[in-house]
Amino acid sequence: MHLEYQVFEADFVNAGAASSSIKKTLKQLNVNPQIVKRVVVALYEAEVNAIAHAYGGMIYADIEADKIIVKVVDKGPGIPDIEWAMQEGNSTASPEVRNMGFGAGMGLPNIRKNVDRLDVQSTVGVGTTVEMEVHF
């Protein structure tokens, strides 16, 4: 099953909508609730990242019999130092975003803790692709 969602820059009102939709689909497919919980944490963080840090982008989810693969492709600005961004506590979020309770530098570490495979590719000026896989 292939699902696609568009996310828009700074669209915090709809943050979580794609995650919620994918969660419902996984539940309908009777995926183990503990696995669904892990997918949801990772998905939400990736969705919020695209909204808070990027100029919008797309979420592609492919659900197979034994796994889900999610790819979040944003339109930039890109991450200059992925290793730095992956460390807990590091964030480039604006003060406004931090006041909402985001931008604590926990997003990417939260993703890493909850997925079986994570691949972050980024080119400054082009965009970032976060690909993650969770096995059922």
Residue 90 makes contact with another protein by CB under 8 A: no
What sign does the dihedral 120-79-123-42 (CA atoms) show? positive
132 lies in the binding site for another protein (CB under 8 A): no
Instruction: Report how far residue 90's alpha carbon sits from residue 69's, in angstroms, rounded to the nearest whole number.
Output: 26
Identify which range of 1-9, 14-22, 53-61, 69-77 contacts another protein by CB under 8 A.
Answer: 14-22
Task: Determine which residue in the list 25, 71, 113, 131 makes contact with another protein, applying CB under 8 A.
Answer: 113
Closer to another protein by CB, 19 or 122: give it. 19
Phi, then psi, of 117 in degrees rounded to 5: -145, 135
Q: Which of 1, 29, 32, 37 binds another protein (CB under 8 A)?
A: 37
Chosen residue from 5, 7, 23, 31 binding another protein by CB under 8 A: 23
Question: Is the peptide bond prior to 80 cis by the omega test (within 30 degrees of 0)?
Answer: no
Cβ–Cβ < 8 Å for 94, 38: no
Rg over alpha carbons for the chain, rounded to the nearest Å, is 14
Please give the residue ranges that form the binding site for another protein (CB under 8 A): 12-13, 15-17, 19-20, 23, 37, 40-41, 44-45, 48, 100-102, 104, 106-107, 110, 113
